[in-house]
Structure 1
């Protein structure tokens, strides 16, 4: 069985939420954010949803606009 991340089960701090926002703004993939912050992808997605942070890539064309 895999070892749990470093911050497994620990509450989020204000600095961690700020770091999450910065990484999401920089278009960092969810998996990489999780590795950098010691959290699972599910925890990153849940906290981003709670904090109203979009994890969607900003540098891609909208669906269906490819010529």
Structure 2
């Protein structure tokens, strides 16, 4: 039997999602924690942060 392909579900970012992302950016929360809490991928969060012009996670 063929493997089931996971369907990609895309969700728009709401105003509250953006507000929460900005708060995490200010608190320098690790991206892994934010991803689990918001149920989004790390890549999605990083891309949104770039569009908003905010840093995400800690800088090395």
Superposition TM-score tier, normalisation by shorter sequence: 0.7 to 0.9
Instruction: Please state how far the C-alpha of 1:55 moved relative to its aligned partner.
Output: 1.4
Partner of 2:35: 34
Partner of 2:20: 19
Partner of 1:9: 10
For the residues of structure 2 that align with 1:40 and 1:22, how far apart are their CA atoms?
Answer: 18
Which TM-score applies when normalising by structure 2?
0.77
Name the structure with the higher helix share. Answer: 2
CA RMSD of aligned residues (A): 2.2
Divergent runs of 4+, >4 A: none
Partner of 2:46: 45
For the residues of structure 1 that align with 2:19 and 2:45, how far apart are their CA atoms?
Answer: 12
